[in-house]
Structures are given as C-alpha cells and as structure tokens.
Amino acid sequence: MIKKEQKKPISINQSSKKDLFDLLYNLHYSLLLHIVQQYVPTNEDAEEVMQDVFMKVWDKMDQIDINKNVTGYLFRITRNTCLDFLRSKRHALALETNSLQQKNLLNFHALTNNTASTIIENELIILINESVQLLPEKCRLVFIKSRFEGLKHKQISSELNISTKTVENHISKAIKHLKLSLRDYLSFL
C-alpha cells in the first residue's frame, strides 16, 4: 500500500508572516467588521472583537494554509470571537432587559447555531466566488493571483507582462466591484 505524503505547513519568516497578515487584514477587515457589528451592541465592542480576531489570526499565522479556504477560516475565527464576547456579557444580558441586550442574546443564540452559521458562511463564500467570476477576465485573473494565490504585485506584473500600476488598478476595480455586489447581502446580516 502506498502512503499518501502529507503536506507540511510552509515555514514562513517574520517578514512574509507580516506580509500575509497585512494581505488578510486589508482584504477581509471591513467585511468581517460589518458582520461583527451585527452581533455586538456598539461600534467600540465591534472594534474590540475585531482586534481579538486579528490577534488570533496573528498567533496562528504559521498554521494558515493559503491554499485552503482562508475566508472560511477567518469567518470561523470571527464567529467564535463574537461568541466569546457574547458569553462574557451573558450574565449582564440576563439581568438587564432593554432591547439592545435582548438583541445581543438573540444574536448569541443565532451564532451558536452551527447549522445556520455554516449556511451563512457557505452562502457568502458562494456569493464572493460568483462576484469574482463576473469580473472582466484580466481583472479577475489579477485579483485571483493577488488575493487567493498571495502573489505580490511585481510577481503578477512579470507573470502577466503588465505594469504594477495596471495590477493595482485591476485589484482596486475588483475590490470596488466586490463591495458593490455584496452590499445587498451584507445589509441583511
């Protein structure tokens, strides 16, 4: 019987760890913040949760496999961090009855429902992928190489024989397109 060789995580140095972290932060922060704001009572709490999310991401940077579903991984960390936050506030929620606290309690129960969270997560991933597919071919190719494959602008420009400024323009256009196409979905969260 032939044993399947297991992939070892790629060891990354501090510089590339920071670059990958910056890429994940820049690509996902605003979307994750919007999701967190739907579950926690104030913007200050949302910012606190997001700080915790990205602290956890930084701590686990050596374990992140960029060839896997990084977006889903970030959603799970965000969801779990929201749950931790809401658990810490649970006793206060039981004592106070104003509508904001009741909303938080309902959000806590919604987040603890793994099936519902998984459905929402999968739906969002599908919408992101569909939105990326609607981009013009060259723009889509540049965006995928940058955001999903983790290539630097110079690498993309040399691989596709285009200037780094063109790479930046394509990425900017793609991000605007994603924000616009996901706007309706995010307003329901």
Pairwise CA distance, residues 22 & 109, whole Å? 32
Which amino acid is located at 59 in the chain?
Answer: D
Average pLDDT estimate for 107-118: 67
Supply 95's token pair. Answer: 């004592």
* DSSP one-letter string for 42-69: SHHHHHHHHHHHHHHHHHTGGG--TTS-
User: Considering the entire predicted model, what is its pTM?
Assistant: 0.47
Report how far residue 77's alpha carbon sits from residue 83's, in angstroms, rounded to the nearest whole number: 10
DSSP assignment of 135-170: S-HHHHHHHIIIIIS---HHHHHHHHT--HHHHHHH
pLDDT of res. 9: 44
Q: What is the pLDDT of residues 85-97, one digit of tens each?
A: 888 776 455 555 5
